[in-house]
Amino acid sequence: MIIKQLELQNFRNYQSQVIEFGTNLNVLIGKNAQGKTNLVEAINFCCIGKSHRTSKDKELIKFGCDSARIKVTALRQAGTKTVDILIPRQAKKIVRINNLSILRIGELFGNINSVFFSPEDLRLVKESPVDRRRFIDIDISQLSKVYFYNLLRYEKILAQRNKLLKTSFDKNQAMRGLDVWNEQLAQIGAKIIFSRLKFVEHLSKLAKNQHFRLTDSQEELNLHYTGIVGANVDAIYRILFNLLEQSIDKDLQLGYTTVGPHRDDLKIVCNDIDIRSFGSQGQQRTVALSLKLAELEIFKEEIGEYPVLLLDDVLSELDNLRCQKLLDSISNVQTMLTGTSFDLSRPATRFFIENGHISKM
């Protein structure tokens, strides 16, 4: 997949800008605070309908303006895709795909796929389980709309169950509603967990290979889904349903649901060491990179073409050898690489970004 063109109007610090990208490596250079991250944020927004920096779409509108617009034109094996998003300050965003408005945001997934890597992705390895679940959820959602809708449904039911837990006077009153919510939560939760298990198994294999490559076979990377596991959806359903029943007293006491896919995690192990607790900064960074490169391969296997790779300010974080290995492994993937300065001898389409203006170098 190739992003041919990006059009921005009143998006962040851009007023009106049209950019034609090269088909392989695109290098975007600029000083701090000129609009590099804004640009990759705009592309990613057209892929997943969300910013990686804010949950408030209105923040994307240029200060003092009424609306922002992003339009991406991509060439896919199946033909041209345009995603055109209007973000008005006073209304909900409007998304058009090939000129047709979509009714549900889930329809956006899978039209233009991206893998996004920025220094904050170190959170993926270092921080809380929420970050790792988000990583898994965004990826599977890009590959399966059904998964995305199951997640939304799960969150709604979970909120209802938690509300009941908080507002019930006693167990008897709670039990009348909990029976229904436990059943529904276990049904959908089991589907979510099963998809995640399959995804993590696949990711683990690919990430292990990437990690061997980046570390000259010095480090063996393994990923394990931790939480509820089972051989198939039915088995997981039974385990989850029983756990929900068994945890009622505890859940009533705490006022929230303590079991389910919203509590699961991804354990990242390198040479038998839990990398989150014991990995060095450099090891953690390389693991994050291996995960991202594995993501690229998963997309390639599942949808038959590479997604677009967005690398925001990543090279400054890596030593020279790892930079070269990274660039070698993405030579046939369209990449948008941002940074403040580069010493790259590779062929690339180069852009200079200054105060919300982009020019080809």
Ligand X SMILES: Nc1ncnc2c1ncn2[C@@H]1O[C@H](COP(=O)(O)OP(=O)(O)OP(=O)(O)O)[C@@H](O)[C@H]1O
CA dist 348 and 23 (Å) reads 9
- Smallest separation (angstroms) from ligand X to the CB of 17: 13
Which among ligand X, Mg ion, none contacts residue 62 (Cβ within 5 to 8 A by kind)? Answer: ligand X
Instruction: Check binding of 73 to Mg ion (CB under 5 A).
Output: no
Closest CB 353 distance from ligand X, rounded Å: 6
Q: List Cβ neighbours of 327 (8 Å cut-off, separation of 6 or more).
A: 25, 344, 346
Token pair belonging to 339: 């940074």
In the complex, the smallest distance separating the C-beta of residue 320 from ligand X, rounded to whole angstroms, is: 20
CA distance 309 to 298: 13
For Mg ion, give the closer residue by CB, 37 or 82.
Answer: 37
Whole-number minimum distance, CB 25 to ligand X, in Å? Answer: 18
Strands (E), 207-344: 221-226, 265-270, 273-274, 308-312, 335-339
Residue 4 or 357: which CB sits closer to ligand X? 357
Return d(Cα 186, Cα 141) in angstroms, integer: 20
Specify the residue, 220 or 354, whose C-beta has the smaller distance to ligand X: 354
37 is a site residue for Mg ion (CB under 5 A): yes
Question: Which phi and psi angles does 269 have, rounded to 5°?
Answer: -120, 130
Give the nearer residue to ligand X in terms of CB position, either 52 or 81: 52
Residues that bind ligand X (CB under 6 A): 12-13, 30, 32-38, 59, 61-63, 313, 340
Q: How far is the CB of 40 from Mg ion (least distance, A)?
A: 8
Q: How many residues bind Mg ion (CB under 5 A)?
A: 2
Find the part of the chain contacting Mg ion (CB under 5 A) among 34-42, 67-75, 156-164, 291-299. Answer: 34-42
Distances (CA, A) of 113 to 57, 141, 356: 20, 11, 25
Both structure tokens of 69: 């617009």
| Interface residues toward Mg ion, by CB under 5 A | 36-37
